[in-house]
């Protein structure tokens, strides 16, 4: 059970209702009441769990959970007494159901007397603005936004409805679409790393663009997104960006992308829709990464990637080629074939 210091105690739901809301097929007792969600290895008989990663099938075989979302193919692994909720997408069904038990928290609308709001800022209805938050002139905050403690919203910044800005985050020169969330300590809209090299010192290039973030985007903790140099830096709808990611000026990221922690994307690179970049991937500047491309963690991308291609390596190459190379080198060393 989630720690009540941090989470509200959820209301119970019957398995019948869970099956109905998730679209899963229930094999078991629809009248049974479920009080909470929990991982397979700690769930009790009034709690709901799920099996998604096959690595945890051992936990599933021994689970004491009252019910479990699983793929129909896994049904034979089920221990006795567990109610099964069959679905082709157990993790998605779990996510949706957990959201019912634990709806997104949000304080009641209120503006802290310790927030500092410029008289020329526009604040919508039902916003939460916490202590120490600073909202500068001509910022425009739509209905239902939540600005957390010590966050700073720069002059002219525009937030869509239901946007949440985390503690100590910093926004300038940007627009954020509805339902997007910026996590703690993220820095959005500062000048990009733009300069002309000259023997007498670098000459700063004024950075005249913005950061335009679409709807339903998530930007992780301490991530940095520089504003464009002239064109804008843009992040497409529904894209999720993890913690400590760096996104350079003029970068364009499509919709539905997954950018894992500590990725760095250099200036002016264009990333298509539904691209997945693994943790610590580096992408050089002025490249095109095609729609649906997937890049394994820590890869170094120095060339364009065609749509749909999976790559890995440093420099990055098609995944199969990289795997072949790794295996080949291993054999080479093992057999210690002389090259002298």
Interface with a copy of itself in residues 268-327 (CB under 8 A): 279-280, 282, 284, 286, 297-298, 300, 314-315, 317, 321, 324-326
Q: Quick one: which segment of 23-31, 57-65, 73-81, 183-191 binds a copy of itself (CB under 8 A)?
A: 183-191
Q: How far is the CB of 46 from a copy of itself (least distance, A)?
A: 15
User: Is 249 one of the catalytic residues?
Assistant: yes
User: Would the CA dihedral through 165, 166, 167, 170 be positive or negative?
Assistant: negative
Beta strand pairing call for 146-147 and 128-129? parallel
CB closer to a copy of itself out of 78 and 257: 257
CB closer to a copy of itself out of 29 and 311: 311
* Of the candidates 190, 261, 268, 173, the residue with the CA atom closest to the CA atom of residue 226: 190
Query: Under the criterion CB under 8 A, does residue 243 sit at the interface with a copy of itself?
Result: yes
When binding is defined by CB under 8 A, the residue of 70, 123, 182, 210 that contacts a copy of itself is: 210
When binding is defined by CB under 8 A, the residue of 61, 77, 122, 131 that contacts a copy of itself is: 131
DSSP reduced 3-state for 232: coil
Q: Quick one: which segment of 24-32, 60-68, 80-88, 89-97 binds a copy of itself (CB under 8 A)?
A: 89-97
The DSSP symbol for 173 reads S
Phi and psi, residue 288, nearest 5°: -120, 120
When binding is defined by CB under 8 A, the residue of 66, 177, 236, 256 that contacts a copy of itself is: 256
* Biggest CA-to-CA distance, the chain: 78
Is the Cβ–Cβ distance between 129 and 147 less than 8 Å?
A: yes
Query: Under the criterion CB under 8 A, does residue 29 sit at the interface with a copy of itself?
Result: no
Q: Quick one: which segment of 23-31, 58-66, 75-83, 180-188 binds a copy of itself (CB under 8 A)?
A: 180-188
When binding is defined by CB under 8 A, the residue of 28, 124, 264, 318 that contacts a copy of itself is: 264
Query: Under the criterion CB under 8 A, does residue 172 sit at the interface with a copy of itself?
Result: yes
Q: How far is the CB of 209 from a copy of itself (least distance, A)?
A: 8
CB closer to a copy of itself out of 53 and 75: 53
Query: Under the criterion CB under 8 A, does residue 75 sit at the interface with a copy of itself?
Result: no
Summary count for the chain: helices (H), strands (E) = 4, 40
- Residues within window 211-240 making contact with a copy of itself, judged by CB under 8 A: 216, 220-222, 224, 226, 230-231, 238, 240
When binding is defined by CB under 8 A, the residue of 62, 73, 76, 201 that contacts a copy of itself is: 201
- The span from the CA of 227 to the CA of 250, in Å, is 7
Q: How far is the CB of 164 from a copy of itself (least distance, A)?
A: 11
DSSP reduced 3-state for 49: strand
* Of the candidates 53, 10, 57, the residue with the CA atom closest to the CA atom of residue 34: 10
> Considering 173, 179, 216, 249, which one is annotated as catalytic?
249
* Of the candidates 224, 214, 228, 332, the residue with the CA atom closest to the CA atom of residue 273: 214
- The span from the CA of 9 to the CA of 2, in Å, is 8
Q: How far is the CB of 130 from a copy of itself (least distance, A)?
A: 8
Sheet holding 264-265, edge to edge: 116-117, 134-135, 152-153, 170-171, 187-188, 224-225, 246-247, 264-265, 282-283, 300-301
CB closer to a copy of itself out of 31 and 182: 182
**Total residues at the site for a copy of itself (CB under 8 A)?**
111
When binding is defined by CB under 8 A, the residue of 13, 27, 74, 98 that contacts a copy of itself is: 98
CA distances from residue 265 to 88, 117, 249, 298 in whole angstroms, order as listed: 34, 34, 9, 12
Give me the active site residues, please. Answer: 249
């Amino acid at each position: 059970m989630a720690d009540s210091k941090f989470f509200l105690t959820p209301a119970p739901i019957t398995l019948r209702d869970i099956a109905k809301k998730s679209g899963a097929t229930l094999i078991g007792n629809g009248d049974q009441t479920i009080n909470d969600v929990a991982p397979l290895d700690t769930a009790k008989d009034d709690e709901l769990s799920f099996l998604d990663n096959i690595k945890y099938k051992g936990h599933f075989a021994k689970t004491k959970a009252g019910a479990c979302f699983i793929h129909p193919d896994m049904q034979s692994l089920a221990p006795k007494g567990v109610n099964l909720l069959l679905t082709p997408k157990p993790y998605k069904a779990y996510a949706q159901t957990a959201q019912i038990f634990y709806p997104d928290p949000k304080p009641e609308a209120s503006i802290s007397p310790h927030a500092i709001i410029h008289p020329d800022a526009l604040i919508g209805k039902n916003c939460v603005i916490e202590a120490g938050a600073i909202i500068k002139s001509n910022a425009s905050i739509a209905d239902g936004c939540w600005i957390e403690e010590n966050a700073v919203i720069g002059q002219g910044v525009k937030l869509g409805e239901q946007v949440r800005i985390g503690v100590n985050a910093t926004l300038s020169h940007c627009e954020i679409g509805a339902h997007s969330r910026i996590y703690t300590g993220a820095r959005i809209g500062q000048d990009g790393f733009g300069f002309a090299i000259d023997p007498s010192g670098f000459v700063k290039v004024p950075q005249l663009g913005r950061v335009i973030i679409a709807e339903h985007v998530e930007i992780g903790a301490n991530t940095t997104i520089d504003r464009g140099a002239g064109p804008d830096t843009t992040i497409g709808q529904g894209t999720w960006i993890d913690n400590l990611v760096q996104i350079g000026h003029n970068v364009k990221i499509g919709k539905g992308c997954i950018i894992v922690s500590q990725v760095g994307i250099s200036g002016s690179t264009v990333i298509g829709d539904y691209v997945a970049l693994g943790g610590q991937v580096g992408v050089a500047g002025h490249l095109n990464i095609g729609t649906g491309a997937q890049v394994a963690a820590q890869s170094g991308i120095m060339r364009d990637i065609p749509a749909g291609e999976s790559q890995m390596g440093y420099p990055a190459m098609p995944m199969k080629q990289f795997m072949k190379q790794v295996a080949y080198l291993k054999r080479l060393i093992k057999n210690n074939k002389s090259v002298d």
